[in-house]
Chains A and B, each alone.
Chain A
Amino acid sequence: MSVTSSDLASHRFVAGLTQSQLDRLAAIASSIELTAGSRLFDEGGQASSLWLVRAGRIALDLDVPGRDRLIVETLGPGDELGLSWLLPPAQWQFGAVAQVGVSAFQLSSAAVTGLCEADHELGYELTRRLLGTAIGRLQAARIRILDLYAAPSRIAGGSS
């Protein structure tokens, strides 16, 4: 389903872009609806889309031999899904599945790259925003590595 610039403007990823930039992004975006359990991609597949999640929840997951499939992270309204297309080899590092019904804007990575190549100002803006997404996920992953909740809590039990 086609997308207008006013539809797209509701997503925080594009907040602050000019009307012209929004128009060009909206022209390459489509609106999709996914039912619970729908798989968007598998680990190792060709990374070729960026999704801006409007509603619902998507799990990034990974098959681990001998164990159940593990959820790496979940993404929800306002989040972006799909960064692996930015750099070679443009291959998904995780899988992605809709945990519940999902509504999202989908943008072809080739079309986004084309817009960025044609307009470096827009390219800079989008790259900066996607870098912000990557930094946020890196910081979150580092915090999770600390395993803060495993340490003896001094909040309500003390180490005594």
Chain B
Amino acid sequence: MNDCRYPVRYRVSSRLAETHDTVTLTLEPAEDPIAAFRPGQFTMLYSFGIGEIPISVSGLPGQPALTHTIRSVGAVSAALCAAQPGEVIGVRGPFGTSWDDADAAGGDLLLVAGGIGLAPVRPALLAALAQPGRYRRVIVLAGARSPAELVFAAEYGEWREHGAEVEITVDKADASWPGQVGVVTQLIGRAHLDPTRTTALICGPEVMMRITARALTAAGLPAASVWLSLERNMQCGIAECGHCQLGPLLLCRDGPVVNFQVAEPLLTVREL
């Protein structure tokens, strides 16, 4: 077992530009790999000489390769997004809780994602689609800023072919966009959810997750059936440094996946 305090070298085996600022990297281990991840967990990706940031794993579990989808928003993420096949980056982890805690087998699995929040829920979706019959329904409701900023857009058709109900909406579009326009919460009322059988996994900007979780509970889902992927300033990944504290939680260990019952009172506490 690798020591999670030290990065393991992985080599970039493929790089796919999802949007103008978002890239999906596939990484192959260049030495003993990190432990297998579970959907919802994250790793610390290290661009050598620049820095390290937390990134959720976005690929199918159980594969030797690791897939991460990264948005370029700062120095480290820009360096990772610029990494080309053959380059080596460091990986620590996997860390944190997983969507597995929200096992919805036999019922309806609802994934609600905003923007790049689709990346952390994608492993749960791919795992669900790889097990036909495990869920009664698999529903994906995803929002983005514009059609050009949709991530994994090339896969929606394949997800539908494998049985998922996929509804996409964008905040802004011109008349050439044939799809839906509006906030992702507006899709909830059209999804004909059975609140007694639905387990919801939500990932996106925190405000979007708050309003989505409230909309779902207003639609009758128990708070215990709603799970969020939260993030603060994850650094050590092993609950030692305290940078990712959210109330009583250290999110690198107690998150990122947190039940709404636990998260709700914490999300409205104004931070210093």
Contacts and interface: CB of A to CB of B under 8 A. Distances in A.
A104 to B, nearest CB: 14
Nearest to B69: A156
Given A157-B71, A158-B73, 7 more contacts: A70-B174, A72-B181, A76-B190, A143-B183, A156-B55, A156-B119, A160-B73
B49 to A, nearest CB: 14
Contacts of B190: 76-79
A18 interface: no
Interface residues of A toward B: which range?
35 or more
Nearest to A77: B190
Interface of B: 22, 42, 51, 53-56, 58, 68-77, 114-117, 119-120, 143-145, 149, 169, 171-183, 185-186, 189-190, 203-205, 207-208, 211, 229, 231-232
A157 B77 contact: yes
B72 to A, nearest CB: 7
- Select the residue from B76, B144, B178, B203 with max chain A CB neighbours within 10 A: B178
B116 A155 contact: yes
A143 B207 contact: yes
B181 A59 contact: yes
A158 B53 contact: yes
Nearest to A72: B181
A68 B176 contact: yes
B173 to A, nearest CB: 5
Nearest to A144: B171
Given A153-B117, A160-B77, A74 B53 contact: no
B171 A147 contact: yes
B174 A143 contact: no
18 contacts: A12-B189, A57-B180, A70-B173, A70-B174, A71-B174, A73-B181, A144-B172, A148-B114, A155-B205, A156-B116, A156-B120, A157-B22, A157-B55, A158-B54, A158-B74, A160-B75, A160-B76, A160-B77
Contact of B205 (A79, A151, A158): A151
Contact of A153 (B68, B71, B178, B189): B71
A158 B76 contact: yes
A149 B114 contact: yes
Given A78-B190, A149-B115, A150-B145, A157 B72 contact: yes
Contacts of B58: 156
A61 interface: yes
A84 to B, nearest CB: 18
Nearest to A53: B190
A44 interface: no
A99 interface: yes
